């Protein structure tokens, strides 16, 4: 019996040691990877010092050209859109990684109805940020809310589960090197969208997501940061009330909203769209000029 207990303890000790060493190795991989997601998060967490920071998902990452906005507003710009980050929980983590060391003058948050719509698994993209668990208390509350915090405490190696292959591949395939201050151009599609279809309706509102939108606003206001909500073009149709929940939250806290979706920007130009959700590089540059002009009018 004693041998069994000793053997079991040895197995646990070896597992613990392997897990901690594996976690340290993957941290180094994560911090040196040149895929798209890791360098963006790394820049927000450690390096960002720009005047204007753009946050959001792939629609942020592929729609806002920093050099165009920089030249218009005469401010430094970083596009911190994280591909696949999905909704406000991920954006809130990004914000807290950033604010731990830098308070920009302006934060532009690209939003969608996914930021307030009820979904089956609203926390799936939280795991992208798991390598930073335990380093930023304000961000850690999202991991706790998601129910994953104890898993990340138990296993340091498990924190890299979501992006391990991407991180390792990024040591060789340096996709980040093609980016311009975080902006990664989307190639011209071989086929443009055929017709304008109705956008997926919002059936139920997630009150917890709405609360985190307000927490995002409050964190920016505590740091005297000008926050702007943006909804860049989709090639889909929505009515004028589609984003009312988001706009009501913004108006309550005096946050300007630039809604280019409801207004139908570029709906007469299907050739501007890579797909229903994304602009490709040439049209992103046209859109960035529109956006920079509106942002300049707001700020000056």
Q: What is the CATH number of the domain that holds 87?
A: 3.40.50.1110
* Percent helix, strand and coil across the chain, each to the nearest 5: 50, 10, 35
Count how many domains the chain has.
1
Q: What is the pLDDT of residue 6?
A: 67
For residue 107, pLDDT beyond 90? yes
Mean pLDDT of all residues in 94-121: 95
Indicate the burial class of 14 (C-beta count within 10 angstroms; 0-12, 13-18, 19 or more).
exposed
Q: What is the pLDDT of residue 9?
A: 75
Per-residue DSSP letters for 59-71? Answer: HHHHH--HHHHHH
Mean pLDDT of all residues in 111-138: 93
Confidence of residue 124 (pLDDT cuts 50, 70, 90): confident
Q: What is the pLDDT of residue 85?
A: 87
**Structural domain of 273:** 2-299
For residue 295, pLDDT beyond 70? yes
Mean pLDDT of all residues in 102-122: 95
Residue linked to tokens 């897990």: 19
Mean pLDDT of all residues in 262-272: 95
Q: What is the pLDDT of residues 146-187, one digit of tens each?
A: 999 999 999 999 999 999 999 999 999 888 888 899 999 999
Q: What is the pLDDT of residue 233?
A: 97
For residue 286, pLDDT beyond 80? yes
Query: Distances from the Cα of 224 to the Cαs of 88, 121, 219, 220, 287, in angstroms?
Result: 20, 33, 9, 6, 27
Q: What is the pLDDT of residues 66-86, one digit of tens each?
A: 999 999 999 999 999 999 888
Structure token pair of residue 201: 């309706």
For residue 96, pLDDT beyond 80? yes
Neighbours of 100 (CB within 10 A): 16
Which residues have a Cβ under 8 Å from the Cβ of 229 and sit 6 or more positions away? 109, 111, 246, 250, 255, 256, 257, 258
Q: Please report, to the nearest 10 degrees, the dihedral formed by the alpha carbons of residues 249, 252, 258, 263 taken in order.
A: 70
For residue 207, pLDDT beyond 90? yes
User: Pick the residue with more confidence: 299 or 218?
Assistant: 218
Mean pLDDT of all residues in 44-66: 96
* 22, 157 Cβ separation under 8 angstroms: yes
Q: What is the pLDDT of residue 5?
A: 65
Q: How far apart are CA 75 and CA 96, in angstroms?
A: 22
| Average pLDDT of the residues of the chain | 93
Mean pLDDT of all residues in 55-66: 96
Going by C-alpha positions, the residue among 234, 297, 283 that lies closest to residue 262 is 234
Q: Please give the DSSP secondary-structure letter assigned to residue 279.
A: B
Mean pLDDT of all residues in 245-266: 96
Q: What letters, b where the CB count within 10 A reaches 16 and e where it falls short, cover 35-57?
A: bbbbbbbbbbbeebebebbbbbb
CA angle 221, 224, 226 (to 5 degrees): 80
For CA atoms 99, 181, 30, 122, give the dihedral sign. positive
Q: What is the pLDDT of residues 8-23, one digit of tens each?
A: 778 788 888 999 999 9
Residue linked to tokens 């920079």: 292
Q: What is the pLDDT of residue 202?
A: 87
Mean pLDDT of all residues in 140-148: 95
Neighbours of 212 (CB within 10 A): 22
For residue 4, pLDDT beyond 80? no
Q: What is the pLDDT of residue 263?
A: 94
**pTM beyond 0.85:** yes
Structure token pair of residue 137: 């208390």
């Amino acid at each position: 019996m004693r041998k069994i207990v000793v053997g079991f303890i040895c197995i646990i000790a070896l597992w613990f040691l392997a897990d901690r060493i594996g976690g340290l190795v993957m941290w180094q991989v994560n911090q040196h990877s040149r895929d798209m997601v890791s360098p963006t998060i790394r820049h927000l967490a450690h390096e960002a010092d720009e005047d204007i920071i753009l946050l959001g998902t792939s629609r942020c990452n592929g729609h806002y050209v920093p050099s165009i906005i920089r030249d218009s507003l005469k401010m430094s710009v970083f596009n911190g859109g994280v591909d696949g980050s999905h909704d406000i929980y991920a954006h809130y983590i990004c914000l807290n990684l950033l604010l731990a060391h830098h308070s920009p003058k302006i934060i532009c948050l690209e939003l969608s109805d996914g930021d307030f719509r009820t979904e089956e698994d609203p926390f799936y993209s939280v795991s992208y940020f798991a390598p930073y668990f335990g380093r930023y208390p304000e961000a850690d509350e999202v991991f706790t809310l998601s129910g994953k915090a104890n898993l990340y405490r138990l296993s340091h190696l498990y924190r890299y589960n979501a992006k391990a292959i991407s991180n390792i591949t990024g040591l060789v395939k340096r996709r980040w090197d093609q980016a311009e201050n975080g902006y990664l151009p989307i190639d011209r599609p071989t086929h443009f969208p055929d017709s304008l279809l109705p956008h997926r309706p919002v059936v139920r509102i997630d009150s917890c997501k709405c609360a985190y939108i307000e927490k995002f606003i409050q964190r920016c206001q505590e740091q005297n940061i000008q926050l702007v909500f943006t909804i860049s073009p989709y090639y889909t149709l929505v009515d004028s009330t589609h984003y009312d929940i988001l706009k009501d939250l913004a108006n309550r806290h005096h946050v300007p909203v630039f809604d280019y979706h409801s207004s139908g920007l570029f709906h007469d130009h299907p050739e501007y769209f890579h797909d229903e959700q994304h602009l490709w590089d040439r049209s992103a540059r046209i859109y960035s000029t529109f956006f920079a002009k509106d942002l300049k009018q707001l700020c000056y």
